[in-house]
């Protein structure tokens, strides 16, 4: 198998205008927390809060494009949103293999996203299958 227990991966992502606007255009989520600066500030945030599911897009990119094989499929994922993400935030993504299940061709990762101040904005687990 090309993966080993404890293997670590790292990527960097930026929540750009293109990502933010593309998410709204595709999914039509215009909740004022995400689109109205004044509304978000009134609710105690420092600005518009980015959609949490943008991070799921980054997870999809990691699994589909950054691993040493393209023969993968996501079986399940769990994500906990810990702190707000804002427009133009630079996120450091780290993942580590915590389980290899050869009998069912599955790999489990734990991951986290941290912002530029190293505050965890999200963390979770994702399990993938290796397609033979």
- Digit-by-digit pLDDT tens for the chain (132 residues) are 689 999 999 999 999 999 999 999 999 999 999 999 999 999 999 999 999 999 999 999 999 999 999 999 999 999 999 999 999 999 999 999 999 999 999 999 999 999 999 999 999 999 999 998
| C-alpha–C-alpha distance, residues 67 and 2, integer Å | 10
- Other C-beta atoms closer than 10 Å to the C-beta of 39 total 15
On whether the CB atoms of residues 57 and 18 are closer than 8 A, the answer is: no
Domains of the chain: residue spans and CATH: 8-130 (3.10.129.10)
| C-alpha–C-alpha distance, residues 1 and 27, integer Å | 37
Answer yes or no: pTM beyond 0.85: yes
Does residue 5 sit in helix, strand or coil?
coil
| C-alpha–C-alpha distance, residues 67 and 97, integer Å | 12
């Amino acid at each position: 198998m090309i993966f080993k227990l404890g293997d670590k991966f790292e990527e960097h992502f930026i929540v750009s205008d293109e990502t933010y606007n593309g998410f709204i255009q595709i999914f039509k989520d215009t909740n004022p927390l995400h689109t109205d600066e004044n509304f978000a500030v009134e609710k105690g945030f420092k600005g518009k809060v980015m959609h949490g599911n943008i991070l799921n897009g980054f997870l999809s990119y990691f699994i589909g494009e950054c691993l040493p094989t393209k023969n993968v499929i996501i079986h399940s994922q769990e994500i906990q949103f810990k702190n707000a993400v804002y427009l133009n935030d630079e996120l450091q993504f780290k993942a580590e293999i915590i389980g290899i299940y050869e009998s069912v061709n599955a790999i489990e990762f734990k991951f986290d996203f941290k912002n530029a101040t190293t505050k965890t904005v999200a963390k979770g687990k994702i399990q993938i299958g290796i397609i033979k």
